Chains A and B, each alone.
Chain A
Amino acid sequence: MTIGLSFIMGLVAASVSYFMLSLWWPVAIILGIAVWLAFGLFGLKMDSAFTLLSGAILVFCISLSVMIMRSSDQLSGLQYADTVDETGTEFRYPVPLLGNAPSGERVYRSHGCAACHTQHVTHEGVEFDIKALASEKNHSAVKEAVNRFYQVTGNPASGGIALGLPVGEWETVALGVSVSDAAKARGFLSSAGASVDVQVRFNGEDLEKDNFSNPDGRGWGKRRSVARDYLFVERPMLGSVRIGPDLSNVGTRLNRSTLMRLLLDPKSIRRNSKMPQHRFLFDVVKESNEKGIITIRNKDEQVFYKPTKEAEALVDYLLSLKSANYPLEEAPVYQPFTSSLPKPEEAKKEMEEKTGDEGSDTK
């Protein structure tokens, strides 16, 4: 091996030791030099199976240590987290599968549903909007802070906002900025004595639709999926190809009868669906008297299908999937400006008025 190539080998060995195996830097350098000398000066020829075997074992251990041991160390400490649902009720997340859902999970696994459906939601980015409130006392200091923020972020033209900054009113100072810029803005404004309000917006096709910040959203979750979502799942079926939609929160999107129909005859729900029928999960019956019977019109005759226990369990499992809906510390959901939210008393009044209106409409 040429001296140049062996030097690169040494460099790679030192980098892997330092960055991937987190070895002390002098040790990494010594290892790098040892590899360089071995290949360059001593001309390691690899003519013995022992050399090859030793090297392969070393690489295998590095691979296991870097990918498996490290992730295991990090993930083994994951525990429950407190979160809130849509009604504001606090609960511990994630919730293990209950009732019939574990059997449904087995059905999902055994029919290979993961070949077409994923169970992890992604987001593309996060943006921050910032509002500031200046009083008469600190008005000029806040204006200066706004100007400074725009100069620091390399966008001085937008510093014009500072000129029209009102006194005693919330004013949007920055829209759609990154995490680091938001932190800078917050720092400048707070040190100038202004009150600061931050709105956090996530965007990405998978997330909920929002005409302003996420117009292409498909509503498959309120946030991205994280490792904690699968804390109790044995061999999570994450999937890698989406021939059909993601099912992370299908339990909040579809109801029991729609899911049953989707399994039996997907085209009756979506005409251009590519999902195959799962008729083997249903028994044909003669009468439609029982609850839960699905009727399919086949040319001129009607056929009645009764879901089997497997179908019932599968649907129970699907209805239990609501994972990407609740905020977590490592994966928050959309946070609006708190200053724009109605005050608790105002909200109560608004609610009462709304209920009254609806009541009169019904009458």
Chain B
Amino acid sequence: MSSESKEGEANKDPRDVVDDSCKGPFLFLAFSAIIWLLVYSIFSMLSGVKVHSYGMMVDTAWLSYGRIQPASQLALQYGFLVQLGLAISAWILSHRGKTVLVDGGYLYFGGLIWNVGVTLGFVGILSGGISGLEGLQMPVHVIPILLTGYVLVGVSLVQTNNRRTDEQMSPAQWFLFTATLWLPWILGSAYLLIYYFKAKGVMANIVDWWFMQNFSKVYLTFIALGVCSHFFSLSNSYRLIGRGYALFAFWILLLFGSIGGVSLAAPVPAWLPALSTVTSVFYFIGIVSIWYVLYHMQNGASAEDNISLMRLGLIVFGVVSILNFLFAFPMMGKSAEFTTFGPSIELLFNLGFVGLVLLASFYYIFPHMVKFGLSPKITKIQNIIFILGFMIASLPSALGGLMSGDAVLGSGFYFSSVGDLFLVFASLLLFLNFLYAIIMSIKTCDCLSQLFSKEQAKEVEA
């Protein structure tokens, strides 16, 4: 290393050094996530078209509704949300811990294996290898691949958190660290219980519901809450309001989010749906508590675009939580049972809360990585289309489900296809915007060149 570059390294802002260490893995995972978002939106639109257009694409089994729909869900949850969540978790854990990303190579390798798993799962579902379970639709052989990929990524994130230089852990770190641990535990347990111990009959469904509940109420919620908590406190100069309430919310959400998820009419012992109702009530107490903390934190936050998007995400989260709380009771829940209400609200949660919060943080982090931000105009347009997309794809369909009842497809489903079309445009714009920024960064500055230079990479690690 030359003396000049050594001097430059020493004078570098520590935050830039942390950014440099995260750059490669972050861009790799974010790029994969955005591609999967595009794949999701295209296949989700196709599945809607299959319902409206009688006689379209009916000669090939690959494109039957029963295959496209679960494949699109896999792309959304495992392809987009989990990967972008991992990328952002890596960045936040490094910044919060004031340390460089440890073992970044694991993130590349794990991310690669995770993508292979998601691709195999996606192709497996399209070619008819569906498991028949709602939460774990992918073929059985894909789960160990996903698990391996995630564990490799997780090793890096856990190491990074352990080597933090700032002793105190913030709520953002609690949420992100626990989420990082939680997914492999639940995925591994569900796999072992269903396929290794051969859970028979409805026992397999109970394990599947348990997994779905944990995936959504703990894993995805914790990722999004951790991200919100970090960015609100970041724009408040790391000021935390109500640490006690955050601690209370953390344990309540973890405990009661990990139990339940059994629908009211499920053919299982009656105590299981009753338990699910009880845990929903307690979970809601945790939601109120964390809402209180985040509300006060965002009060002092700036009015930047990404913070505004997070605020919108939190509003969506509040609405979804209230609906989930109300519909957990038999009186309300029965009217929504088996209708399109449930999947629509799930979509609203996935895209309107988790997706939006992750995208908002991506918009903030991306310019720090490549020094050539996304085009502000296109970003604004894509955000508007994205918000319109998930609103139109979910709300009319949810309302239609409540009004029409089950076994009848209300007109809300037609609106949902319009929403899907918006989402295709939004994800396409995001993909092109991202690609353009990367290309321009490579062309105009040397900020990405170190990704390809071994010497520089070694320097950063050192």
Specify which chain A residues have a CB less than 8 angstroms from the CB of B60 in the assembled complex: 280
Residues of A near B189 (CB, < 8 A) are 64, 68
In whole angstroms, what is the CA distance A47 to B161 when docked? 11
Closest residue of chain B to A124, judged by CB?
Answer: B334
Per-residue interface assignment for chain A, residues 52 to 76, with 1 indicating a CB less than 8 Å from any chain B CB and 0 otherwise: 1101100110111011100110111
| A63 surroundings in chain B (CB, below 8 A) | 210, 214, 255, 258-259
Is B371 positioned at the interface, with any CB of A under 8 Å from its CB? no
- Docked-complex contact B201 and A231, CB < 8 angstroms: yes
Is the CB of B8 closer than 8 A to any CB of chain A? Answer: no
Among A229-256, those with CB < 8 Å from B are 229-246
B182 at the interface (CB under 8 A from A): yes
Say yes or no: A112 contacts B130, CB within 8 Å: yes
Question: Is the CB of A81 closer than 8 A to any CB of chain B?
Answer: no
Asked whether any CB of chain A lies closer than 8 Å to the CB of B376, the reply is no
- Across the interface, A62 reaches (CB within 8 A) one of B177, B255, B406, B407, namely B255
**CA distance in complex: A267, B200 (Å):** 37
Chain A min CB distance to B175 (Å): 10
Residues on A with C-beta less than 8 A from B51 are: 243, 274, 276
Q: How far is the CA of A185 from the CA of B133 in the complex (A)?
A: 45
Pick from B62-70, B380-388, B436-444 the stretch touching chain A.
B62-70
Partner of A2, one of B128, B178, B244: B244
Closest to A113 in B: B66
Check A49–B407 contact: CB distance below 8 A: no
Q: Is the CB of B64 within 8 A of A280?
A: yes
A241 touches B55 (CB 8 A): no
A67 to B158 alpha-carbon distance, docked (Å): 28
Q: How large is the interface on B (under 10, 10 to 19, 20 to 34, 35 or more residues)?
A: 35 or more
B300 beta carbon closer than 8 Å to chain A: no
Interface assignment of A226: CB less than 8 Å from any CB of chain B: yes
When A12-B282, A230-B267 are in contact, do A52 and B174 touch as well, CB less than 8 Å? yes
- In the bound assembly, the distance between CA atoms of A3 and B60 in angstroms comes to 64
A122 CB contacts on chain B under 8 angstroms? 265, 337
- Chain B contacts of A41 at CB under 8 A? none
The answer to whether B207 and A68 touch across the interface, beta carbons within 8 angstroms, is yes
Interface residues of B in 261-278 (CB under 8 A from A): 263, 265-269, 272, 275
Q: Does B61 contact A (CB under 8 A)?
A: yes
Query: Given A111-B61, A231-B201, A234-B200, A47–B258 Cβ distance below 8 Å?
Result: no
Taking the complex as formed, is A46 at the interface, i.e. its CB lies under 8 A from any CB of chain B?
A: yes
Contact of B245 with A115 in the complex, beta carbons under 8 Å = no
- Write out the residue numbers on chain A whose beta carbons fall within 8 Å of the beta carbon of B252: 12
Query: Which residues of the other chain, B, contact A71 by a CB distance below 8 angstroms?
Result: 203, 206, 268-269, 272
Contacts of B168 in A (CB 8 A): 45, 47
Most buried by A among B133, B158, B255: B255
Q: What is the CB-to-nearest-CB distance from B271 to chain A, in angstroms, rounded to a whole number?
A: 8
Contact A235-B132, Cβ < 8 Å, known A111-B64, A225-B267, A226-B267: yes
Q: Let me know if A184 is at the binding interface, CB within 8 A.
A: no
> In this assembly, does B58 line the interface, its C-beta being within 8 Å of a C-beta of chain A?
yes
Q: Considering the chains assembled together, what is the distance between the CA atoms of A231 and B182 in angstroms?
A: 31
| Residue of chain B at shortest CB distance from A220 | B407
Please report the C-alpha to C-alpha distance between residue A1 and residue B289 in the assembled complex, in whole angstroms.
13
Q: Does B302 contact A (CB under 8 A)?
A: no
Asked if B65 and A115 make an inter-chain contact with CB atoms under 8 angstroms apart, the answer reads: yes
Q: Which of A8-66 contact B (CB under 8 A)?
A: 8-9, 12, 16, 20, 39, 44-49, 52-53, 55-56, 59-60, 62-64, 66
Report the bound CA distance from A244 to B65 in whole Å.
13
Q: Chain B nearest CB: distance from A321 CB in Å?
A: 14
The answer, yes or no, to whether A186 is at the interface (CB within 8 Å) is no
Shortest CB–CB separation between residue B45 and chain A, in angstroms? 15
* Contact with B178, one of A8, A9, A56, A241 (Cβ below 8 angstroms): A56
How far in angstroms is the closest Cβ of chain A from B451?
A: 30
> Roughly how many angstroms separate A294 CA and B171 CA in the complex, as a whole number?
64
| Residue A277 at the chain B interface, CB threshold 8 Å | yes
Least CB distance, B68 to chain A, in whole angstroms: 8
In the assembled complex, the Cα of A274 lies from the Cα of B266 at a distance in Å of 25
Main secondary structure of the interface of B (DSSP, over half): helix
In-complex Cβ contact of B59 among A55, A239, A279 (8 A): A279
Q: Pick the contact of A66 from B131, B178, B275 — CB < 8 Å?
A: B275
Per-residue contact bits, chain B 169-213, to A (CB 8 Å; 1 contact, 0 not): 100001001100110010001000110001111111111001000
Tell me how far the C-beta of A299 lies from the nearest C-beta in chain B, rounded to whole angstroms.
13
Q: Which of B26-34, B81-89, B338-346 contacts A (4 or more CB under 8 A)?
A: B338-346
A46 in contact with B133 (CB, 8 Å): no
| B169→A241 contact, CB < 8 A | no
B142 CB within 8 Å of chain A: no
Instruction: Give the chain B neighbours of A231 by CB distance below 8 A.
Output: 200-201
**Docked pose: A112 CA to B131 CA in angstroms:** 9
| A147 at interface, CB cutoff 8 A | no
**Which of A45, A56, A231, A244 has most chain B Cβ within 10 Å?**
A56
A115–B70 CB distance below 8 A: yes
Check: B167 CB closer than 8 A to any chain A CB: yes
Contact assessment for A240 and B69 in the assembled complex, using a CB-CB cutoff below 8 Å: no
Minimal Cβ-Cβ distance residue in B for A243: B409
Q: What's the nearest-Cβ distance from chain A to residue B418, in Å?
A: 17
Q: Give Cα A110 to B268, complex, Å.
A: 25
Instruction: Tell me whether B202 and A236 are in contact (CB under 8 A).
Output: yes
The answer on a CB contact under 8 Å between B200 and A20 is no
Q: How far is the CA of A71 from the CA of B182 in the complex (A)?
A: 22
Task: Report the minimum CB–CB distance from B362 to chain A (whole Å).
Answer: 26
Q: B129 within 8 Å of A by Cβ?
A: yes
* Distance of A350 Cα from B181 Cα, bound (Å): 71
Given the known A-B contacts A111-B67, A276-B50, are A46 and B247 also in contact in the complex, defined by CB atoms under 8 Å? Answer: yes
Using CB atoms, name the residue of chain B closest to A120. Answer: B267
Within 8 A of B (CB), among A309-338: none
- CA distance in complex: A274, B406 (Å): 13
Contacts of A230 in B (CB 8 A): 201-202, 267
Does A163 have its Cβ within 8 Å of any Cβ on chain B? no
Please give me the residue from chain B that is nearest to A273 by CB atom: B54
- How many angstroms between the C-alpha atoms of A15 and B368 in the bound complex? 47
A298 to B168, CA, bound (A): 73
CB neighbours of B272 from chain A (8 A):
67, 71
- B161 to chain A minimum Cβ distance, whole angstroms, is 6
Flag whether A203 is at the interface (Cβ < 8 A). Answer: no
- B201 x A240 contact (CB < 8 A): no
Least CB distance from A143 to B in Å reads 38
Given A9-B248, A227-B202, are A116 and B65 also a contact pair (CB < 8 Å)?
yes
Q: In the assembled complex, how far is the CB of residue B63 from the closest CB belonging to chain A, in whole angstroms?
A: 9
Q: Decide if B244 touches A75 in the complex (CB within 8 Å).
A: no
Whether B65 lies near A1 (C-beta < 8 A) is: no
Contact A110 B265 (CB under 8 A): no
Pairs A–B under 8 Å by Cβ, sample size 14: A1-B243, A9-B251, A12-B252, A12-B282, A53-B181, A56-B254, A63-B259, A71-B206, A71-B269, A75-B201, A78-B201, A239-B134, A277-B54, A280-B61
Knowing that A71-B268, A280-B58 are A-B contacts, what are 19 other residue pairs whose CB atoms are under 8 Å apart, sorted by A's residue number?
A5-B248, A20-B275, A44-B247, A46-B169, A47-B169, A52-B169, A59-B254, A63-B258, A71-B203, A109-B132, A110-B129, A112-B130, A227-B202, A227-B267, A230-B202, A235-B132, A242-B338, A276-B50, A280-B61
